[in-house]
Amino acid sequence: HKILGIETSCDDTGCAVINDKCELLSESLYSQHLIHLRHGGIIPDVAQDLHRYNIEPIVSGTLQKAKLTMSDISAIAVTLKPGLPLSLAIGMKYAKHLARRHNKPIIPVHHMEAHALVARMQYNIRFPFLVLLISGGHCLLAVVQDINKFKLLGESIDCAPGEIFDKVARRMKLKNVPEYSKISGGQAVELAAAKATNPNMFKLPLPLAEYKDCNFSFNGLKTSVLLHHHRKEVEHKIVADELIPEVNDLCAAMLMATSKHLVHRTQRAMEFCHKRNLISEDNKLLVVSGGVACNDYIFNALSILCNETNYKIFRPSHKLCTDNGVMIAWNGLEKWKRNIDIVTNLDSLDIEAVSPLGQNLISNVK
């Protein structure tokens, strides 16, 4: 059996085919990143047009690379939630079109669940495990008990870490540096931070420090970074396209504060799991995934925590941490093998822009 996976939830058109021996037969990814960079952010209409334009060649190309046709495919897995409605709609419509034409079932996929479960494709990770998902639109901690069975421990009460990296990078004009001109804001911040000489010159707050729950907040951090940045711009009389001289130090300070916050909350989650017996002593595993998980500074900080708490830490390879079609095909395959969510009544399927992974178990605990 072979599963075709389609991803269009945000600004990447992704596709992949995986067989029931868990082998990746082919994959394709079209990133709209450079186009959105010109607009200073994702414009949903533009994203939709690009998905519409690219979906057919991306899917056909993926099948061709594996020397397959639709008749070789057992089911089509597609991201239906959460994401930008206009983007999700293109993936769903195309998946339904293929499913009707070739008489195949559809396996609906939750984008964040796919980010979490794809780690199982590369490592031997048994349920239940702890997951920290850090991306452009989300920040959450959950216990993954099974496919479709997540216990949410905490989430961001405002924005996501990738989002603040992207916004701050834009305000700092990092893309004017040729080396950073074609990469994501998060990657640019990481590279700039590595060149810092005095990150401690900037004092940043530790978000939600007085709360004992596992929620996150990044808005305050973003505001303080932008304030420091503004002060330095005024101080140095910065004009137009110039960067502040302390840009590397400020990036490092932001990255350190973000890591500290993530480690702090993850530690809380581990304590909570221990108290409630949600994670067994012989299976203490932490999976870190989502685009921001590519960040080595953050990953190393979490590794130190895991070392202290006797957790094993796993993260998918960089390509699988950011959006891709492989994780959708993988989620489809896991569901196919267990006979979960295999839908033949296509009219019953629709997209959902917002879709929490469950109810937050711990909230607002001082």
Binding footprint of ligand ATP on the chain (CB under 6 A):
9-10, 83, 111, 115, 135-138, 160, 162, 165-166, 184-187, 190, 290-292, 294-295, 322-323
Apex 131 CA angle, 125 and 136, nearest 5: 125
What's the min distance (Å) between Cβ of 345 and ligand ATP? Answer: 27
Q: How many angstroms from the chain centroid is the CA of residue 128?
A: 20
What's the min distance (Å) between Cβ of 169 and ligand ATP? Answer: 8
8 near Fe ion, judged by CB under 5 A: no
SS3 169: helix
Taking the least distance from each CB to ligand ATP, the nearer of 66 and 196 is 196
328: DSSP letter: H
| Distant-in-sequence, close-in-space partners of 50: CB < 8 Å, separation ≥ 6 | 11, 13, 30, 32, 35
Longest dimension (CA), the chain: 65
Taking the least distance from each CB to ligand ATP, the nearer of 20 and 296 is 296
DSSP 102-137: HT--EEEEEHHHHHHHTHHHHS--PSSEEEEEE-SS
- Select from Fe ion, ligand ATP, none the partner in contact with residue 332, using the beta carbon and a kind-dependent cut-off of 5 to 8 Å: none
Q: Hunting for tokens 């994780």 — which residue is that?
A: 327
Determine the residue with CB nearest Fe ion: 323
Taking the least distance from each CB to ligand ATP, the nearer of 111 and 261 is 111
CA separation for the pair 300, 294 (Å, rounded): 11
- Contact set for Fe ion, span 124-183 (CB under 5 A): 135
CA separation for the pair 115, 112 (Å, rounded): 5
27 near Fe ion, judged by CB under 5 A: no
Taking the least distance from each CB to Fe ion, the nearer of 111 and 228 is 111
What's the min distance (Å) between Cβ of 35 and ligand ATP? Answer: 15
- Select from ligand ATP, Fe ion, none the partner in contact with residue 259, using the beta carbon and a kind-dependent cut-off of 5 to 8 Å: none
What's the min distance (Å) between Cβ of 192 and ligand ATP? Answer: 11
What's the min distance (Å) between Cβ of 81 and ligand ATP? Answer: 10
Taking the least distance from each CB to ligand ATP, the nearer of 186 and 332 is 186
- Select from ligand ATP, Fe ion, none the partner in contact with residue 186, using the beta carbon and a kind-dependent cut-off of 5 to 8 Å: ligand ATP
Nearest CA-CA partner of 190 in 262, 258, 266:
258
What's the min distance (Å) between Cβ of 343 and ligand ATP? Answer: 22
Do 3 and 17 touch, CB atoms closer than 8 A? yes
Do 172 and 243 touch, CB atoms closer than 8 A? yes
Taking the least distance from each CB to Fe ion, the nearer of 249 and 323 is 323
What's the min distance (Å) between Cβ of 135 and Fe ion? Answer: 5
Helix or strand holding residue 32 (H, E): none
323 near Fe ion, judged by CB under 5 A: yes
Residues that bind Fe ion (CB under 5 A): 135, 323
